[in-house]
Amino acid sequence: MKIICVAGQVCAGKTTTTDIIARQLPNSAIVRGDNFLKSAFINHKDDFEEIYNVPFDIDRPYESFEQIRYDISAESVNKYRQYCNAFRPYIEQEILKEVDENRKQAKDFVVIDYIALSVFEIWKLADYRIMIVSNNELRLPKLYQRTIDKGNEYNEDFVLMREKAVADVIENATGIDLLIENKYDGNIEKELLCLYRKIMNSN
């Protein structure tokens, strides 16, 4: 089984890239790190409360962040980075479980996406590593629309604070096989063509 990892900025096109790859490769499966975020928040309730010194609502985990979303200071960036680092091992563990399950099901390919994937062990073990980025002028309007569509309040300062907290993960990523700058004009599919050829020729 070959493993393909997709990392990158929020709303830069990780989901789109993963879906395109999975459609093109036969007998493939998708593993999304974001699917484990809610359970990661709940499992790391104590870390949240210790770092932020505010209560965490297990019944409404995402709403717990409402209490801190207007703090965009450098200290807030460091706190959010600390919190992400606390639950990162949990996300990695859950991803590995899903990968193992797909291996048992004799999948030929598994495509994994998550913003911080490049610091996980699976990134080093992957057969192919893709990084997706885009400039803020194009990307932030997409993020705004996605946030509104989900019925959430958009706070650009909070968005940028979170991104500063994980920026080093993307900027310091190594072993990248394909770097794509998403221009939201269909260029992702074109840029993946060379990767398909490489993958299929190696089989």
Q: How confident is the model at residue 130 (pLDDT cuts 50, 70, 90)?
A: very high
Structure tokens at 47: 């870390």
Question: pLDDT digit string (tens) for 146-164?
Answer: 778 877 666 777 777 888 8
Query: Do 26 and 122 meet the contact criterion of CB atoms below 8 Å apart?
Result: no
Length of the chain: 203
CA distances from 202 to 107, 190, 195 (A): 16, 20, 11
Query: Which of 7-21, 47-61, 106-120, 147-161 shows the lowest mean pLDDT across its residues?
Result: 147-161
Q: What is the CATH number of domain 2-202?
A: 3.40.50.300
Which two tokens mark 69? 């979303």
Residue 74 has what pLDDT? 83
Average pLDDT over residues 60-78: 80
31-57 confidence digits (pLDDT tens):
999 999 999 999 999 999 999 999 999
Amino acid at 90: Y
Q: Which stretches of the chain are DSSP H helices?
A: 14-24, 37-43, 45-52, 74-104, 121-125, 136-149, 156-171, 187-202
Residues 6+ apart with CB under 8 A from 85: none
| Lowest-confidence region among 46-55, 77-86, 192-201 | 192-201
**pTM across the whole model:** 0.91
Q: What would the mean pLDDT of 103-118 be, rounded to a whole number?
A: 96
Could you tell me the strand order of the sheet in which 128-133 lies?
28-32, 109-113, 2-8, 128-133, 178-181
| The pLDDT value given to residue 144 | 81
State the chain's mean pLDDT as an integer. Answer: 90
Q: Of 34, 177, 176, which is closest to residue 113 (Cα–Cα)?
A: 34
Percentage of residues in the chain having pLDDT higher than 70? 98
- Confidence class of residue 203 from pLDDT cuts 50, 70 and 90? low
Provide mean pLDDT across the span 74-92.
92
5: part of which helix (H) or strand (E)?
strand 2-8
Say what percent of the chain tops pLDDT 90.
Answer: 61
